[in-house]
Amino acid sequence: MKRIAVLTSGGDAAGMNAAIRAVVRTALHCGWEVLGLKHGYTGLIAGDFVVLGARDVGGIIQHGGTKLGSTRCEEFKTEQGRLRALRQLNERDIGALVVIGGDGSQAGSHALSQMGFPVIGIASTIDNDLCGSEITLGVDTALNVALEAIDRLKVTASSHQRAFLVEVMGRDCGYIALMTGIAGGAEAIVIPEVETDPEQIATELRASYERGKAHAIVVVAEGAKYNADGLARYFSDHRKRLGFDLRVTKLGHVQRGGAPGVFDRMLGTRFGAAAIQYLAKDEHGILVGLLKGEIVATPLAEVAAARKPLDLRLMELARVLAR
């Protein structure tokens, strides 16, 4: 058949390299040629292609980030930008594009696919806010990085009988906070999906000290109304009345930089291989994801139209377990 291209876009995620490697080697196995695009949609618009052979993707599966590079590209959101991208693809006689990225990147895939070009998405973002995959590439590694940090904070919090506020990423989704909050045994969790009263947090923390706890950990999602800065400011403004303040740690990009664990290496590998298998059947305009343990494809139109729900029953479970 054909010549295809692959790019990574949006926030990088551990496992992207495994996906690139699987795309390249599965396509080569089919007798196709693969071009990689440097720096996501920016490279696509600029025509920044590199030929990817089997050796070019050797020794990358164990590395975090993306060997192809990634960007946020405002120009691709415009029709003019996408037309420039289309020209680059058509000039090189490229038959299909694989886009490894999160919800924004897949909105881009959908837009390109609506212009008639065969595109296939691979669900990849640490935020886990993308429909069509119950867990996206990079989530597991990011969760483990955040969890290790929370465990360490708990050690020092216990030594000093302190309360710590740990802010995790997720943009406007509370998934990372909810999972690491439960798995890290947090005393309270603050997420954008649930309105939070700082007074309630103070009450919960005080109650946990009264129950004999030597530490208090509050895991807060960056997108919550009361994120780390907001909550810390509230506690500092009401220091006298509340009786304690909160030490703040923002984990930030450290969560994105981990080396992929076995779960993300396998997920990236399975996603990458499946993307080529779908293309071989001439199926495109779809997102490759994991649903009920199986690799499945969901139309990009459906992915773009839906918002992934968070299982809020887990917030109640977290409250019960924080006793």
Only one of the segments 33-41, 46-54, 143-151, 166-174 lies at the binding site for ligand F6P (rule: CB under 6 A); that segment is 166-174
Q: Are 38 and 48 in contact (CB under 8 A)?
A: yes
Q: How far apart are CA 169 and CA 191, in angstroms?
A: 11
- For ligand F6P, what does the binding mask look like between residues 49 and 78, x meaning CB under 6 A? -----------------------x------
Q: Is 159 exposed, middle or buried (0-12, 13-18, 19+ CB in 10 A)?
A: exposed
Give the nearer residue to ligand ADP in terms of CB position, either 80 or 159.
Answer: 80
- For ligand F6P, what does the binding mask look like between residues 5 and 44, x meaning CB under 6 A? -----xx---------------------------------
Give the nearer residue to ligand ADP in terms of CB position, either 105 or 269.
Answer: 105
Nearest distance in Å: CB 322, ligand ADP: 31
Q: Are 223 and 256 in contact (CB under 8 A)?
A: no
Exactly one of 122, 137, 169, 290 binds ligand F6P (CB under 6 A); that residue is 169
Selection from ligand ADP, ligand F6P, none that 126 binds (CB < 5 to 8 A by kind) is: ligand F6P
Side chain identity, residue 71: T
Residue 127 annotated among the catalytic residues of the structure: yes
Exactly one of 3, 63, 67, 72 binds ligand ADP (CB under 6 A); that residue is 72
105 touching ligand ADP, by CB under 6 A: yes
Q: Site residues for ligand ADP, window 2-21 (CB under 6 A)?
A: 9-11
Structure tokens at 122: 């691979």
Q: Which residues contact 271 (CB under 8 A, 6 or more apart)?
A: 19, 22, 100, 122, 123, 124, 137, 288, 289, 290, 295
Q: Which residues contact 212 (CB under 8 A, 6 or more apart)?
A: none
- Residues 127, 129, 140, 264: which is the catalytic one? 127
73 touching ligand ADP, by CB under 6 A: yes
Exactly one of 43, 65, 102, 285 binds ligand F6P (CB under 6 A); that residue is 102
Give the nearer residue to ligand F6P in terms of CB position, either 27 or 137.
Answer: 137
DSSP letter string, 43-111: HHHHT-EEE--TGGGTT-TT-SS-TT-----GGGGSHHHHHHHHHHHHHTT--EEEEEE-HHHHHHHHH
Residue ranges in contact with ligand F6P by CB under 6 A? 10-11, 72, 102, 125-127, 169-171, 222, 256
